[in-house]
């Protein structure tokens, strides 16, 4: 059974950094891209970036470029997302999600349970 298990809720002060983990099981970690998405309270889903666990290559959305770092640890089958210089607008649920294929026509077929990050002074 494919599972993506994210770390627990976090509270940070403005300007701080948060690191969220996403440990996978039930499939070969390096066979699929891992994406991270943000969902602000009452809002929709927004792509933040992705990592190729096979070689560590990353791609980030322009909105988060410079503040987000996504990594993958093949030894523990875990992806990480760091978000720095936190501000109140970063208060949101963060999801890791697997993309179903490296080819054309992929979809987010498995999702983590979400990690709530609250930014408050």
Partner 1 sequence: YELTQPPSVSVSPGQTASITCSGDKLGDKYVSWYQQKPGQSPVLVMYQDTKRPSGIPERFSGSNSGNTATLTISGTQAMDEADYYCQAWAGATGVFGAGTKVNVL
Q: Which of 101, 103, 115 is nearest to 39 (CA)?
A: 115
| Minimum separation from the CB atom of position 88 to partner 1 (A) | 21
Does 16 help bind partner 1 (rule: CB under 8 A)? no
Q: First vs last Cα of the chain: how many Å apart?
A: 40
Contact 77, 23 (CB under 8 A): yes
Q: What's the alpha-carbon Rg for the chain, to the nearest Å? A: 14
Site for partner 1 in 46-75 (CB under 8 A): 46-47, 50, 59, 61
Question: Of 14-22, 23-31, 73-81, 102-110, which segment contacts partner 1 by CB under 8 A?
Answer: 102-110
| Minimum separation from the CB atom of position 62 to partner 1 (A) | 9
């Amino acid at each position: 059974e494919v599972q993506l298990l994210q770390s627990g809720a976090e509270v940070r002060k403005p300007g701080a950094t948060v690191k969220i983990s996403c440990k996978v099981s039930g499939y070969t970690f390096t066979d699929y891209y891992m994406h991270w998405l943000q969902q602000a309270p009452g809002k929709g889903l927004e792509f933040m970036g992705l990592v190729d666990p096979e070689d560590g290559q990353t791609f980030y959305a322009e909105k988060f470029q410079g503040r987000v770092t996504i990594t993958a640890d093949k030894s523990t089958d875990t992806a990480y997302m760091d978000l720095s210089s936190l501000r109140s607008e970063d208060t949101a649920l963060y999801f890791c999600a697997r993309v179903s294929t490296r080819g054309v026509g992929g979809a987010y077929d498995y999702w983590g349970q979400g990690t709530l990050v609250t930014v408050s002074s």
